[in-house]
Amino acid sequence: MSTINVPQLLTQLSLASGYAIESRSFAHYLNENDKLKYLRYEFHYPKMGTLPQVDLSLVNSEDDAIYLCGNSLCLMPRITRDVMNQQFDKWSQMGWFGHIAGNYPWTICDEEICEEIGSIVGAEASEIAMMNGLTVNIHALLTAFYKPTEQRHKILLESRAFSSTHYAIESQIRLKGFDAKTSMICLNPRVGEECLRIEDILDLIETEGDSIAVVFFSGIQYYTGQFFDIERITRAGQAQGCLVGWDLAHAFANVPLHLDLWNVDFACWCTYKYGCSGAGGLAGIYVNKRFEKMEGDRLVGWWGQKFGARFLMNNELDLSLGASGFRLSMPPMMLVMGVIGFLEVYKKTSIEEARKKSIVLTGYLQHLLTHRFTLNAGKISCNLITPTDPEQRGCQLSLKFNVDVSTIWLELTKRGVVCDKRFPNVIRVAPVHYYNNFMDVWRFAHVLKDVILGLEQNGQFDGI
């Protein structure tokens, strides 16, 4: 269980402040006492008037928007523009010499951030490589780690894995000469439930383990927001002789990770969500140092060559040790700068401090949605499908409605709420610990309640 008892903490703060938990004044009080409140000003935060589809007859154009969409794309750090402009200046002034001179020489700029990235995921710099996009990296890692045999050929994942991950695994199975229908185990939740139970995951690994080559789950499930027990699942898979990898797209910079401590075999992630690097930002991989001299067939390219041999052009392969040997091409320097922009902000805090705020921020949202702004009293009802235990989720809450969410989402958008819809009936909201505050959460809960009441009164909703 979480070390922070959010209901108890909110009650204590309510008594100390003299404000009711559901009041606007209490949200303001929480903002004033937020130790990380300064981070909001490190980001460009959109105004109501700058967003498309906002109805300016309903809101003040100068007010801050209610941006809760960091699980799709986090906001831009202010420093990112400066970091990128420095490289544009260098390119314009030096041309080719930008590869070897100035801040972040382009031939090594990806390597220079590996130590900081490693601190976020709990790994050594040599176990990290920043390269490609997430799906490409899934292919690169599975090409190396998925070595099916007639006896052990299956890959285990959750049933509602992100589509790109699902497709990549399917194609890897086919490329290795097997049939996804028999080699792909997609574990479903129990009937009537949305999240997987840890005991069901462990039971399946134990019963099917001798036929499973790779266990490949999401660290945090994109649809439900469930944070899987990475350590226990990794240990269980390895005990059965499986390799265990993780898709950390929704976990990176969202929750503390300890990949070395948990003895994870390999992992990958994107950085444009909680890594705030920009749409399509540079992705990362982790390869446990146990595999630093990994042999066998895998994808290779010249950027995986040892630096001293890379430019000899003798076509004699001499791969770098560890994760660096998995690199294929020179990373786009501007995508590296997007990551650096986030890291410059991240230096002002830590994942541990950010997580403390996140637990309270998301817990406060949960309280508002399930108490004063209850969503189950009328014709339109909503259930939280994200685990209520803070230790089993990140910052995201997934709200499942009994109606099609298209109209609800549109009405929220008109009022300056930026959130994510998953058809037919789920809205995902993610108050991000780096720039969101407690007033954002209060305003969202208030707007959502007003929207639902308005739709109920007008009968403007469709069932499913």
Residues annotated within a binding site for pyridoxal 5'-phosphate: 134-135, 218, 247, 250, 272, 302
Q: Which residues of 183-211 are buried (b: 16+ CB within 10 A; e: fewer)?
A: bbbebebeeeebbbeeeebbebbeeebeb
The residues with which 53 forms a beta bridge, in sequence order, are none
In sign, the C-alpha dihedral spanning 223, 224, 230, 236 is: negative
- 169-to-152, 215, 219, 243, 285 alpha-carbon distances in Å: 15, 11, 16, 14, 17
Tell me the C-alpha distance between 151 and 145, whole Å. Answer: 16
Amino acid occupying residue 407:
T
Tell me the C-alpha distance between 409 and 414, whole Å. Answer: 9
- 179-to-149, 165, 174, 176, 329 alpha-carbon distances in Å: 12, 17, 6, 9, 31
Binding residues: 134-135, 218, 247, 250, 272, 302
Amino acid occupying residue 182:
T
Tell me the C-alpha distance between 111 and 50, whole Å. Answer: 37
Tell me the C-alpha distance between 340 and 457, whole Å. Answer: 49
Q: How far apart are the first and last CA of the chain?
A: 35
Inter-residue contact 432 to 79 (CB < 8 Å): no
